[in-house]
Structure 1
């Protein structure tokens, strides 16, 4: 008696291998994406150490470490350096102006809107010739998503 060995056609074996690698790639990509999304405070620690130091001094680090969504309006480094010598209360008041409860993408800042900050102050939104201004300070549309909010960059420092 002859023994017959059934061999799957080559295209089926390649298809199975291909679907295995696609599945593996998608699962690995999902895990990487989840681990790369850090909190707003982790972002500050890793990418903007001076900002992280000032947020800690101001007592705002726990706010940006939790699960509640916030938008962090990040001023330039030179503006932050000018805050470093200020009293604790001043640092807190200024940095609280740069935190808004909720996720605000650049498109969410509508002309004439008033947005309340964590410090209780109001920021007025202006739109002029394609530029968004928050209390007269221009917004760089960064829209960087974090686990607990969004990071936006400013070209200056908001004052209470």
Structure 2
């Protein structure tokens, strides 16, 4: 294992830990008097598509980090294609929980493959609206296994407040805060955490 790969694996493990600390608040109460809750029911999205998933990410508040990383990884052209794609888009705040320097390390040309894997882990081929995801979850007795473009599974379930909850291969959870942001080549679901695949 190279030193760079070791750094990346450590960074992604810490990202997962940071994501867990925030996203799992639905299941743990930090104090006896103020139990934490999962995000509120996803807000309804504007139905009209205004551009490709790449353009939607660039125009969506609090998603600039993801939009920049998509370009850095060289995925902008692919995700601007006909698709359709379903994108689970982590917030800027989720990326800010990464360890110091980890985002810069991932953005280096030598680590493009790892960054690409992480980003593809947030993309599913085909257009899946929140309602369609919930139908798959119901059909799977409470669990739907999604095959991502990274080739690794992402598990979808319903969270405590009816939000779609995503569990990555490391067991860390993220919640959909806002579903069904329409794109001309798919749909974007805004999430509060990063889903981390296995790297290396």
TM-score (norm 2): 0.57
- Structure 2 residue aligned with 1:98, among 122, 128, 135? 122
Higher-Rg structure is 1
Residue aligning to 2:190: 153
Residue aligning to 2:155: 124
Deviations along 1:49-108, one digit per CA (max 9) or x if unpaired, are: 322220011121112111110011110102334363223232211111111111111122
Compare the two structures and name the one with the higher helix fraction: 1
Contact 1:44 1:51 in 2 (8 A): yes
Contact 1:54 1:84 in 2 (8 A): no
List alignment gaps of at least 5 residues for structure 1.
Answer: 1-32
State how far apart, in whole Å, the 2-side matches of 1:75 and 1:144 are: 13
Q: For 2:196, what is the secondary structure of its paired residue?
A: coil
Q: For 1:84, what is the secondary structure of its paired residue?
A: helix
Deviation at 1:148, TM superposition (A): 0.3
Distance 1:103-1:58 versus aligned 2 partners, 3 A rule: same
Which has the higher relative contact order, 1 or 2, with Cα contacts under 8 A spaced 6 or more apart?
A: 2
> Does 1:134 pair with 2:171?
no
State how far apart, in whole Å, the 1-side matches of 2:68 and 2:163 are: 30
Deviations along 1:17-76, one digit per CA (max 9) or x if unpaired, are: xxxxxxxxxxxxxxxx98x62111112233333222200111211121111100111101
> Does 1:64 pair with 2:79?
yes
CA RMSD of aligned residues (A): 2.1
Matched length: 127
- Structure 1 residue aligned with 2:88, among 53, 73, 88? 73
State how far apart, in whole Å, the 2-side matches of 1:106 and 1:141 are: 9
State how far apart, in whole Å, the 2-side matches of 1:131 and 1:50 are: 23
State how far apart, in whole Å, the 2-side matches of 1:148 and 1:112 are: 26
Deviation at 1:140, TM superposition (A): 2.0
List alignment gaps of at least 5 residues for structure 2.
Answer: 1-46, 168-172
Deviations along 1:116-159, one digit per CA (max 9) or x if unpaired, are: 00111101112243232111211224211110000101110001
Contact 1:104 1:150 in 2 (8 A): yes
